[in-house]
């Protein structure tokens, strides 16, 4: 993971995602997921480009399955965009970078 991509866990999710003052992109992923590995570099690019405007992080569903269930994640990769503690948008599957950036631009 790059310096701009946080690792979200149940220990920091409330403070870093729910109570964040900036929009947050959470990448729900797993080690064994091919499409997750394919979208990983795109998520890192987005994290660099939106540094300071959007918090970007990854949440491993194998380690944090309770959080995945809480937010209804059934397929991965799933990118959930939070703003003011609420999910405002969701992207499922490996998608082009422009789809992610268009959604982020509409939130910030």
Measured in degrees and rounded to the nearest 5, phi and psi for residue 47 equal -60, -40
Q: Which of 5, 17, 26, 33 is catalytic?
A: 33
Is 8 marked active-site? no
Q: Which of 17, 25, 26, 36 is catalytic?
A: 36
Q: Is 85 helix (H, G, I), strand (E, B) or coil?
A: coil
Closest C-alpha to 76, from 94, 53, 64: 94
Is 33 marked active-site? yes
Q: Annotated catalytic sites, by residue? A: 33, 36
């Amino acid at each position: 993971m790059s310096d701009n991509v946080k690792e979200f866990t149940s220990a920091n999710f409330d403070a870093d995602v729910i109570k964040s003052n900036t929009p947050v992109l959470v990448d729900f992923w797993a080690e064994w997921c091919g499409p997750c590995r394919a979208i990983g570099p795109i998520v890192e690019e987005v994290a660099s480009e939106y540094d300071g405007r959007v918090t970007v992080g990854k949440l491993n569903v194998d380690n944090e399955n309770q959080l995945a269930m809480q937010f209804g994640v059934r397929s991965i990769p799933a990118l959930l965009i939070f703003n003011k503690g609420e999910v405002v948008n969701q992207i499922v599957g490996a998608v082009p970078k422009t789809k992610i950036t268009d959604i982020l631009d509409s939130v910030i």
